[in-house]
Amino acid sequence: MSERTDPAAGPFPDRLDPLTGVRFFLALGVVLFHYQLQWTLPEGAAGLLNRARLGVDIFFILSGFILTHVYLQGDQPVNYRRFIAARFARIYPAHLFILLAMLLLVLAAPVLGIGLEPGRFNPADFLATLFLVQAWLPRDGMVLWNGPAWSLSAEWFVYLAFPAYAAVALRFRHRPWMLVAAATSLFILLDAIYRHWFGSVLPRAEDNMGVLRIIPEFLLGIGLYYLGARWAPSPRVAIVGAVGATALLLLAMQIGADDRLIVAGSGPFVLALALLAKAGVRTFLSHPVAIFAGEASFALYLVHIPILMVWRNAAQAIGGWPGDYGMGLLELAAMLAVTLAAAAAIYGLVERPSRQWLRRRTFGRMPDADARRTVHSDQGEPF
């Protein structure tokens, strides 16, 4: 049976391992979504992979949930300088490394005889991507310097706006249903506005004002955290809830449900996984391999498109294949293996050391409790 608990009594454990382990599968789903656009199987063979791109929305909800867990405990206001420095250290090193690698590839392309579409890799888009503002304003096309970085642009926006989120969260934390209702209403409103302006539903927003997509979803994550703080499920109830929420979400993706319904099902999915940790349930998502894979998922998400571009251009240059050639499953498996290895290397050699160095330079040595919570804040970070 589940029971109500006092939200002030330590609502969740410091470690929320299921939310770390699941990050790998969310990132892998986005990778496979992009792969299935290139393969030789018949249209419709992808099933739920066509909706796996909505893992980005789960990450936006997850980010609001985890940052509430780390920064919005007690009644003290957030130390904004420490917050924004920690967020910068979290997302920027891997982003900058991959962006500079893309710049080198673009500069080397003419030397290697690789043709690029004129105007697509332009200085204005490079600067917008560098400063993570490319998803803040309307635009006609995609920013190709590293397409997945649009979601970092959206995350950076809510980081900058975090004091406003914190003020709302602390005011209504004892009425979490109001936060959930406000997030839902805001999503419906922004979806109507986006459809009116651009003729597409809100979960399709990416480079073209993708920032609108995260605004309500981040708030939903905050509301779900305070809602879950009131519940103390037994291990059995937590397992049933997690299995049920996961099955419903995967079924909705498989049958091609409306994107907005899948986003609605993503909230209970995130909360159910967090309640597994609260109930002390250990699953495969808590295994050290799953934890490492989850920690490296940020690099996986960022690097998979550049590797896909390089791979296909090399195949065309070396094999003389047409630009629209379809990739077989063995070729895709080989490319995935290369991508996973590259992601692990970027995480271990660039992302994690750079983050730790920046945090030491900014904060010095933190108290053990603060250090623990800061480390575990990484589990909710974005694509």
| pLDDT value, residue 315 | 84
What confidence tens digit (pLDDT) does each residue in 41-95 have?
766 667 788 899 999 999 999 999 999 999 998 777 788 999 999 999 999 999 9
| pLDDT value, residue 379 | 46
3-state secondary structure the chain: CCEECCCCCCCCCCCCHHHHHHHHHHHHHHHHHHHHCCECCCCCCCHHHHHHHHHHHHHHHHHHHHHHHHHCCCCCCCCHHHHHHHHHHHHHHHHHHHHHHHHHHHHHCCCCCCCCCCCCCCHHHHHHHHCCCCCCCCCCCCCCCCHHHHHHHHHHHHHHCHHHHHHHHHHHCCCHHHHHHHHHHHHHHHHHHHHHHHCCCHHHCCCCCCHHHHHHHHHHHHHHHHHHCCEECCHHHHHHHHHHHHHHHHHHHHCCCCHHHHHHHHHHHHHHHHHHHHCCCCCHHHCHHHHHHHHCHHHHHHHHHHHHHHHHHHHHHHHCCCCCCCECHHHHHHHHHHHHHHHHHHHHHHHHHHHHHHHHHHHCCCCHHHHHHHHHHHHHCCC
Q: Per-residue pLDDT averaged across 193-202, rounded? A: 96
Among 116, 50, 20, smallest CA distance to 375 is for 20
Q: Per-residue pLDDT averaged across 208-212, rounded? A: 95
Q: Per-residue pLDDT averaged across 15-38, rounded? A: 93
Non-local CB neighbours of 160 within 8 Å, separated by 6+ positions: 84
What confidence tens digit (pLDDT) does each residue in 227-277 have?
999 999 999 999 999 999 999 999 999 998 999 999 999 999 999 999 999
Non-local CB neighbours of 178 within 8 Å, separated by 6+ positions: 172, 223
Q: Please give the Cα distance from 224 to 61 (Å, whole number).
A: 9
Say if residue 377's pLDDT is above 60: no
pTM as predicted = 0.91
| pLDDT value, residue 360 | 85
Q: Per-residue pLDDT averaged across 169-184, rounded? A: 96
Query: For tokens 């560098």, what's the residue?
Result: 130
| pLDDT value, residue 77 | 77
Say if residue 367's pLDDT is above 90: no
pLDDT: which is higher, 269 or 376: 269
